């Protein structure tokens, strides 16, 4: 289960980076992490 969570988080981060590059022309700023 933990591995699935880690894989999902990495995939989500990669998807946001790629989307930011394609949509905004490379202006990517990481969002602050949510504190659980």
pLDDT at 18: 84
pLDDT at 34: 62
pLDDT at residue 23 greater than cutoff 60: yes
Q: Note if the pTM is more than 0.85.
A: no
On whether the CB atoms of residues 13 and 6 are closer than 8 A, the answer is no
Which residue, 5, 2, 27, 6, is CA-closest to 16? 27
Residue-wise pLDDT tens digits, 3-17: 888 889 999 999 888
pLDDT at 8: 92
Let me know how long the chain is: 36
DSSP string of 6-36, one letter each residue:
HHHHHHHHHHHHHHHHHHHSS---PPPPPP-
The residue-averaged pLDDT of 4-32 equals: 79
């Amino acid at each position: 289960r933990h591995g699935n969570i880690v894989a999902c988080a990495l995939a989500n981060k990669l998807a946001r980076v790629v989307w930011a590059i394609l949509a905004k022309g490379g202006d990517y700023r990481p969002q602050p992490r949510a504190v659980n």
